[in-house]
Every structure is written in structure tokens, then in C-alpha cells.
Structure 1
Amino acid sequence: MSNSRIWILTLFTMLVAGLNFPLGKISLSYGSTFVLLGIRFVGAGLLMLPFIWGRPHPRSAASWLKLAVIGLFQSTLVMGLNYLSMRTISSGSASILSSSNPIWFIVFSFLLFKTRYRSMQWAGVVIGFAGVAMTQGFAVEMQSGFWLSLGAGMAWGMATLLTSRWGKEFDTWVMAAYQMLIGGVILFILGPFVEHSSLIWDAANPFKELFVLGWMILISSIAQFVAWYYVLSNSDPNKANVYLFLIPLFGVLSGWLILKEPLHWYTMAGAVIIGIGIYLVNRPAGERSRAVSVAKGA
């Protein structure tokens, strides 16, 4: 796939991920977190089954286990912790903390696979994360939700790392479908132990609920995951990963448009800083300073 198409798919994924915050905020009024997310992922997985039936499936128990682990981190932990965190912190703070993903990606890559990174890449990640914080005026709320959302960022970093290393073993559509299906089932199982399970149907305004639910299943789940997994499997995950810094920016802008949330000057300033971080991470390395992976394979 050409670089321009990779870039378009990456930008699409970041835009959808940003829109997920205000729409997710709306969806929370329709039921408990794990029930809504379970419906989202199981529904998306089941809808995809007819389309992936004839595509290559995993043939070994080890491969199915890898899919289950990806589903646990990507669909269950990332989304479950993120949505739970918004009980006590704002969606803006949740987007900042969960977007620490690239930092955790590099940390886990270094610790687990001994991957070496250039100092410029480390600097770009730190500057990019500073830009993310800047988009919210550095106002991060230190409550229980802080740790839940930070945990979501860690889980997202691990999910991205595992997907980048294992993803080439799977058909993109098959991986997206089964990881969501498995993650959704785990959410349904854990739901009663975490919160009071509930689902509210507003008969007076069903179209709004159907739109939000349809967006969560078709766009936020199927389209977003397929596009992101394709990007990770067909490009440098280190470079693709840094674009996750755009998620809070898109989240703030979509919150302003959809929920009429205030838009501040420091959001635009943060966008400039994010751009600098992205440039540093994607800046070509010289012959003496290329990132070298010591451990190859899964």
C-alpha cells in the first residue's frame, strides 16, 4: 500500500478515535459501561463473521491464544478502563492519559524485546505527550479515574506492541473480528463483577440511540480496527503509533462541535507542539543512528 494511503487510513483512525469520546459520553446515558461495550464489540464481531468466513483463519491453539490476548488488551482493558475512568474524570483528561500509549509502547518494547530507540525518537514522544497535555491546559485530574485511564494507556501500548509483532500472522479482517468478539465476551462476563449491569431504552428518542449504537459498532469498531490493524501490519508501528497524539486534539474539537464544550487557545498551541513531536519521531535517521531491533519475531 502506498504511503499516501497509509497516511489517509491513519488519519481516519485518529479522527474516529477522537469522535469516540463525545459519542461515548453520550452513550453512557443509555446503560452501564460494560454492557454497552459488550454490545458494541460482540455486535461488530458477529456482523463481520459472514464476511471473513472464507478468509484464512488461525490453525493452531497458539494462534487463537494470541488473538485472545490482543482482544483482552485492545477491546476489554483499553475501552473498559477508559470508560470507567470517565465516572470521576473528564473525557478530556481520559483522552490525554490513554494517549500515553506511544510512551508505553516504547517502554514495553525496550523492556520485553530489547528494542533500541534513537534519542530523537524519545524526545519526539515526550514532546508529543507534552503537546497532548497542552491541549487540555495541563489540567489533569488526579482521582481514581486518573489511574484507570493511565492503565488504559498502558494496555493500549501493550496491545499495539503485540499487534505489530503478531499481526502479520493473521488476515487483517479476521484479526479485527475475533479480537473484538473475544474482548466483548470478556466484557459481558466481567460486567456484573464491576458494576450494576443495565441498559436503558428511550422510546421517545430512538433514532439518537440507534445512531450512537450504530456508530459504535460500524465505525468505531469495524472500520476503525480494520484500518488501524492494516496500518500496523503494513508500516513502521513506531511512526504510526505517534499519530495517536492527535486523538485528544480531535476529541476536543469534536466535543466542541457536538457537545458545545469550550475550545481554548491552548488547544491550538498543543496542536503545534504535537506536530513537532510527530516530526521528530518520523524524522529519517542517519546511518549512525537508526533504531535497531535486537529481538526479532514474536
Structure 2
Amino acid sequence: MNKWLFAFLVVLTTSLMGSAFTIGKIGLAYATPIMLVALRFLLAGVLMAIIVKCLRIPYPKHVSVWLKIALIGFFQTAAVMGCIFVSLRTITAGQSSILTFTNPLLVVLFGTLFMKMTYSWRQWLGVILGFIGVLITLGAQVDLRIGTLYGFLSAISWAIGTLLIKKWGTQINTWVLTAYQMLFGGLILFVGSFLLEDPSFQITPISIAILVWLALMASIVQFAVWFYLLQKGDPGKTSAFLFLAPFFGVLTGWLLLDESISWNVILGGVCIFIGIFLVNWTARLRMEREAIHHDAKL
């Protein structure tokens, strides 16, 4: 792929990931958090399901596979996005995005504890540095707000969803999984909205524009570009660019919401970005060494 096209697509998808926190926070003026994110993923899931149907992509034939998709939808969409949007009530979009994007660090930790995965010392260094970054980021907040807890829970849920996708993803077509995990996640969130909050959504031109943007640009377009990059390039190298997403979350929060950026957020964010990069960059080096070793054997 042309390097300039690659760079443009990387900036596009990570800016959509990060700015979704800011746009979502703006949307909370018109809707309750769980209802807003439920409508976002119901709309995105339905549209992607229609696309999958039009492309005649085969569906899973066994109920067990659909249950796996639903479970992934619970962790990857319902729990992650529900926690993010609830967190935005009490913390800034920048802080929420930084906390959420610690998930690659948690993937290493959970993968070691529960799936017997092995990682290099550089990846563990990345994990330690990342958690130090989280502590620095939150250092100025002696009284941890409830939004901070939800930010951490979103990262934990995303890490669990990532490991489930790693475990079961090979059994399911990528586009079917993407479409229906969003749809199942949206349905779970819709029910959860009536159980956990007094749901509301004000229908105005601005609220509709926010909902459409979140569903189309921040969900369908963002997923499509990200999967395209993963398919066309080295997954380990591409994943290293995820550290740009919280940067865009902080940047758009500052530009659109006039959120202040304190020294601890900047320093902690830098530590987290380096930690995430170490985790993913080391994975890329290992894949390259394995490929060289494989070629040598041939």
C-alpha cells in the first residue's frame, strides 16, 4: 500500500476512534448515555447487517456460534461503550479515552493469567509503563470520580472482548462478526437503558446529526477502515498506531469542549502511548523473526 494512503487511513480511523468520545459527550445534552449508545449501535448494526446480506456473505449455521457472537457483543460493544458513555458524565472526554485505550496493556495481563499466553520482557515493560501512566494521569484527582471507575471498566471489557475474538474469531467471518456483535450489543444496551436509567432522546437536528455521525463515521467507516488496514498491512505494526486514538480524544476534547489539558494528563498520556507502542511493536518484531525463521527452514 502507498505509504501516504496508509498514513491518511491510519489518521482517519484513529481520529474517528478518539473524537467519538468528544462527540458522544456533546450528545449527552440530548440523550441519556446508555440510550444514546444503544441507538448508535442498533443503527450501525442494522446497516452493516444489510450490507452483509447484500454481499451474500454466509452466516454461521450453529447456535453455539451465534451465542459466541452475542457474548462478544456484550463485552466488545455493550459493556465497553456503555461504560464509556456513562463515564463521560463525570470525567472529560480526554481522560475517558486515555483510560479506555489502556486495553492493549490489559490484554497482555489477562492473556497471561487466563489464556497462558507468553510475552517478552519488552511487552511487560510496556504494561508497567502504561499503568504508571494511568496513575500519573489520575494523580491530580485525589477523590477518584465514578467516571474513572467506568473508564477502567471499559478498558477491562475491551480486553476481554479482544481475547474472545482472538479465541473464536477464526470461526466467524469478520464482517458477520462486526455487524452482529454491534447489533447484539445495541440490543443489550437498549434493554439496559430501561433497566438502569430513565431513558430519553430529544429529537432535534443536532441530536440526529450526532447519532448519524456516531453510527456511520465512528462505527461503520471506522471499523471498515481499521479492518482494511489490518488486512492489507502487518497487524502488529498497524495495531501500534492505536496510541493515536486517545491523543485525538484529548485533542478534540480541548478543541470542541474547551477541556483543559493539565501536565499530569500530558505526562501520563505519553507514558501510556509509549507502553502501548512497546506492547504492539514487540509483537511485530516477534512476527518478523518467526517469518524469517520459517523462510530459513524452507
TM-score (norm 2): 0.81
**Identity, % of aligned pairs?**
39
Partner of 1:37: 37
Rate the CA distance shift 1:4–1:73 in 2: closer, same or farther, 3 A.
farther
Between the aligned partners of 1:25 and 1:76, the Cα distance in structure 2 is: 17
Unaligned 5+ residue runs, structure 1?
A: 291-298
Total equivalences in the alignment? 284
Rate the CA distance shift 1:255–1:245 in 2: closer, same or farther, 3 A.
same
Deviation at 1:279, TM superposition (A): 4.8
Preserved contact between residue 31 and residue 198 of structure 1 (Cα < 8 Å): yes
**What letter is aligned with 1:13?**
T
Give the root-mean-square deviation of aligned CA atoms. 3.1
Partner of 1:51: 51
Instruction: Determine if the alignment matches structure 1 residue 98 to structure 2 residue 100.
Output: yes
Between the aligned partners of 1:270 and 1:244, the Cα distance in structure 2 is: 16
Rate the CA distance shift 1:271–1:187 in 2: closer, same or farther, 3 A.
closer
Deviations 1:1-51 (A, max 9, x none): 899977765543322111011101101111111211111111111112221
Preserved contact between residue 93 and residue 139 of structure 1 (Cα < 8 Å): no
Between the aligned partners of 2:19 and 2:122, the Cα distance in structure 1 is: 31
Preserved contact between residue 108 and residue 127 of structure 2 (Cα < 8 Å): no
Partner of 2:294: none
Instruction: Determine if the alignment matches structure 1 residue 188 to structure 2 residue 190.
Output: yes
Between the aligned partners of 1:151 and 1:271, the Cα distance in structure 2 is: 18
Deviations 1:237-258 (A, max 9, x none): 6665554433322111111222
Partner of 2:250: 252
Between the aligned partners of 1:61 and 1:232, the Cα distance in structure 2 is: 28
Spell out the pairing of 1:1-298 with structure 2 (5 A cutoff): 9-53=9-53, 54-131=56-133, 136=137, 138-140=139-141, 142-202=144-204, 206=205, 208-229=206-227, 243-264=241-262, 273-274=271-272, 276-281=274-279, 282-283=281-282
Deviation at 1:128, TM superposition (A): 3.9
Preserved contact between residue 133 and residue 270 of structure 1 (Cα < 8 Å): yes
Deviation at 1:71, TM superposition (A): 0.6
Unaligned 5+ residue runs, structure 2?
A: 291-298
Between the aligned partners of 1:139 and 1:247, the Cα distance in structure 2 is: 23
Deviations 1:72-101 (A, max 9, x none): 011100000111122233333322322221
Preserved contact between residue 9 and residue 227 of structure 1 (Cα < 8 Å): yes
Rate the CA distance shift 1:243–1:166 in 2: closer, same or farther, 3 A.
farther
Rate the CA distance shift 1:80–1:28 in 2: closer, same or farther, 3 A.
same
Partner of 2:296: none
Deviations 1:163-215 (A, max 9, x none): 2332232222221111111111111111111000111123xxx1x32321111
Between the aligned partners of 1:112 and 1:234, the Cα distance in structure 2 is: 30
Preserved contact between residue 172 and residue 230 of structure 1 (Cα < 8 Å): no
**What letter is aligned with 2:253?**
G
Q: Secondary structure at the match of 1:87?
A: coil
Rate the CA distance shift 1:84–1:131 in 2: closer, same or farther, 3 A.
same
Deviations 1:226-283 (A, max 9, x none): 3445566787766655544333221111112222333456666556545543553314
Between the aligned partners of 1:258 and 1:250, the Cα distance in structure 2 is: 12
**What letter is aligned with 2:99?**
L
Deviates more, 1:184-193 or 1:222-231: 222-231
Between the aligned partners of 1:165 and 1:230, the Cα distance in structure 2 is: 21
Higher helix share: 2
